[in-house]
Amino acid sequence: MFKTKLRALKRLSLTQKQKVLVLDDSGQIDLGFCQISLYKGSENEVPLWLAKELERLGKAKVNRPSLEDLGRLLFQEKQNVNIPASILKLDKDFYLLSKFLERELKGSNSLEDLEKLKRYYSVMKELSTIRLRKIIQLALLNINEQNLISRMSREEYLVYQTVSEIIKNYYGEIVGNSS
């Protein structure tokens, strides 16, 4: 069930608006329900599915975290690694946007970018592990404070909900105490 929800979440995210820096004039684009004007040098919000296509065509660049941004996030998360309430605020589409950086580095033939790609994988693994630990702790402690939940990405919130439901069922069905 989790995989189905995650797939649905990813598909839904494709309709969410993302900021792009327009690198080449595309003029008016008719999306059926609205029109978007894209002119070189402007910054626009477009649906993610369109942003991906524009970036693939070299007409726009998606506003995404840099490797330096990821390193700063990791450093800050590590500062309070054992305090679940210290979870930092991420963009709702953080992991989806990070994939743009991964694709950019994968598409390069530069040795420097290969090293950056290795660093990207290392930072993302450590960052997601620390955040996952904090999210599981929040679920285990049954903390559903909106301020903390708003700091999670969509995928992290799905994990939080799923783990909370498992814990609730564990106490209710197995242990016999639903509180």
Residues 82 and 24 in one domain: no
Q: How do the pLDDT tens digits run along the chain, 179 residues long?
A: 888 888 888 888 878 888 889 888 887 888 777 788 888 888 888 888 888 888 888 899 988 899 999 999 999 999 999 898 999 999 999 999 999 999 999 988 899 999 999 999 999 999 999 999 999 999 999 998 999 999 999 999 999 999 999 999 988 887 776 55
Residues 112 and 53 in one domain: no
Residues 71 and 155 in one domain: yes
Give the residue from 69, 136, 127, 57 showing the smallest Cα distance to 101.
69
Q: How many distinct structural domains can be found in the chain?
A: 2
Q: What pLDDT is stored for residue 177 in this prediction?
A: 66
With 0-12 / 13-18 / 19 or more C-beta atoms within 10 angstroms meaning exposed / middle / buried, residue 158 is middle
Please, which contacts does 47-54 make with residues 24 or more away whose CB atoms are closer than 8 Å? 47/14, 47/15, 47/16, 47/17, 47/18, 48/13, 48/14, 48/15, 48/16, 48/17, 48/18, 48/93, 48/96, 49/14, 49/15, 51/18, 51/20, 52/14, 54/20, 54/22, 54/26
Q: What pLDDT is stored for residue 87 in this prediction?
A: 95
Residues 142 and 165 in one domain: yes
Q: What pLDDT is stored for residue 10 in this prediction?
A: 83
Residues 21 and 48 in one domain: yes
| Host domain of residue 97 | 67-175
pTM given for the model: 0.83
